[in-house]
Amino acid sequence: MRSETFWSGFAAGTVVGALAGVGGVLAARRRASEADRRVVRLEKSINIGSPVQRVFAAWSDLEQLPRWISFIRRVEHRGPRWHWLVNLNDREFQWDSQITQVIPGESIGWKSLRGPRHTGRITFSPAGEQTVVHVIMNYAPPMGRVGAMMPMEEHLERWIERGLREFKAAMEQEQHQAALRTGAENTETRATGTTGEDMPWRAET
């Protein structure tokens, strides 16, 4: 994997966790974090009909994520940070994130650097020729007036599910198109191999 793509892979998993920065409380396990904070833990999985290396590589190409997920408008590399711009319910949100740990082809950990606090990990597990993508996220939503004003409180789960579904659909469509191209190339090769022009050794009649 090229260095640029490798480091992009470090930050790629933040697409799900970063969405939490504009969200609020998801129905999940809760625990007290500080006097004025609580932590929400979210776990979400999806099965994608494409091999794990292909799925991980696509997710790792961070700046290309807007191709796969419609509400991600832009991702920019800014030194050790990645700057995100998304549009949710016709409102734009921005944040910075950083990767804390990565196991190439297997998992990515992240944390926020600006805005609402969140950390998490996304894992990629092979299931034959398919991939199970599993997200674990811990989010500390703001309290008081600021927390009450957050527009995505009751919609966080819906947006995360939408992002994962769009990524799944894109990966499976790409896999299908690759299979069609391979089939067409094999058919063309077999057809070409049966022509007289490709058999100069054949005796003239």
pLDDT in tens, 72-125: 999 998 988 989 898 988 888 888 999 888 999 999 888 889 876 788 899 999
Residue 44 pLDDT: 87
- pLDDT (mean) for 48-77: 92
In whole angstroms, what is the distance from residue 139 CA to residue 33 CA?
Answer: 10
pLDDT at 29 over 50: no
DSSP structural state of residue 62: G
> Token match 């910075």: residue?
96
DSSP state letter for 198: G
pTM of the model: 0.67
How many CB atoms within 10 Å of residue 50? 20
> If you search the block for the tokens 């008081």, which residue do you land on?
144
Contact 134, 52 (CB under 8 A): no
pLDDT at 164 over 70: yes
Q: Is residue 35's pLDDT more than 90?
A: no
pLDDT of residue 95: 84
Contacts 24+ apart (CB under 8 A), 73-79: 77/8, 77/11
- Inform me whether the pLDDT recorded for 165 exceeds 80: yes
Q: Could you give the residue ranges of the DSSP H alpha helices within the chain?
A: 3-12, 14-19, 52-60, 65-68, 144-149, 156-192
Supply the mean pLDDT for the chain. Answer: 74
CA 159 – CA 17 distance, rounded (Å): 11
